[in-house]
């Protein structure tokens, strides 16, 4: 991960190029949406040796999943260190047109950042279409939407075109430095296989660039609805 003048830039594609496709359900923690991060919703960092810990990066560990999802793969999430009120980690990522988008350039308006596993999968399509269907209300209230996955620009362009998505999709290539900085990238298990993948998490950043809301238990079909209701805009 490179740091330049406080700016987080995603590294070039790393070694995890042949991971299994992200199953939609593999990235959702069980339950509904959450507008706060309680201890029950959050993995706490633990030093190696305190329990069976799996290193995910410098100073970041995930313990084995203790809440299996019925008929779904187990997920081991990276530590979500961000708290409500923290400055949102700045970043620059390419959009569907290959153009760089910097989070701090959107200062002055609220920004939804939603991490999702993969374009065109059932749950990710539902989530994107829910944001699309509530786009007019979000736009009227000055809320910008950024969807982030590992998919490349060509995949994003096809996904946007097929579902007429009016918002920006960004590419965070492996090893997903931006998602990692938001605690939204970690070890996942699916059909007995382990691989690193994107978690389905959503963050609302306020006009001052601080974290206003964190959603770790995302219902993909109603994520935009839940956010709008929590903000009292519905």
Domain ranges of the chain: 33-230
CB neighbourhood size of 199 (10 A) = 27
User: 106, 144 in Cβ contact below 8 A?
Assistant: yes
Which contacts of 172-176 are long-range, i.e. CB under 8 A and separated by 24 or more positions? 172/10, 172/93, 172/115, 172/148, 172/198, 173/10, 173/11, 173/12, 173/13, 173/14, 174/13, 174/14, 174/15, 174/16, 174/17, 174/19, 174/150, 175/11, 175/14, 175/15, 175/16, 176/10, 176/150
Say which residue the tokens 């988008």 belong to: 101
Q: How confident is the model at residue 15 (pLDDT cuts 50, 70, 90)?
A: very low
Assign domain 33-230 one CATH number from 3.40.50.2300, 3.40.50.720, 3.40.190.10, 3.40.30.10.
3.40.30.10
pTM of the model: 0.69
Average pLDDT over the chain reads: 76
Which amino acids are annotated catalytic? 124
Of the two residues 115 and 32, the one the predictor is more confident about is 115
The string of pLDDT tens digits covering residues 151-191 is: 999 999 999 999 999 999 999 999 999 999 999 999 888 88
| Token pair belonging to 151 | 């998919």
């Amino acid at each position: 991960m490179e740091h330049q003048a406080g700016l987080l830039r995603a590294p070039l594609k790393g070694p995890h190029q042949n991971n299994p496709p992200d199953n939609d359900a593999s990235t959702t923690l069980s339950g509904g949406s959450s507008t706060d991060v309680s201890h029950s919703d959050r993995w706490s960092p633990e030093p190696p040796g305190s329990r069976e810990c799996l290193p995910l990066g410098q100073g970041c560990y995930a313990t084995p999943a203790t809440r299996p999802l019925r008929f779904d793969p187990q997920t081991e999430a990276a530590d979500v260190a961000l708290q409500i009120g923290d400055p949102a980690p700045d970043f620059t990522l390419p959009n569907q047109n290959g153009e760089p988008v910097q989070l701090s350039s959107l200062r002055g308006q609220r920004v939804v950042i939603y991490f999702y596993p993969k374009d065109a999968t059932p749950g990710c399509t539902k989530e994107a279409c829910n944001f699309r269907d509530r786009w007019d209300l979000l736009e009227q209230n000055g809320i910008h939407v950024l969807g982030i996955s590992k998919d490349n620009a060509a995949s994003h362009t096809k996904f946007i075109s097929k579902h007429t998505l009016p918002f920006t999709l960004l590419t965070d290539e492996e090893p997903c430095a931006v998602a990692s900085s938001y605690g939204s990238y970690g070890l996942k298990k699916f059909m007995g296989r382990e691989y690193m993948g994107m978690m389905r998490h959503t963050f609302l950043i306020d006009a001052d660039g601080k974290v206003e809301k964190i959603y770790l238990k995302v219902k993909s079909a109603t994520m935009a609805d839940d956010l709008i209701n929590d903000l009292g805009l519905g």
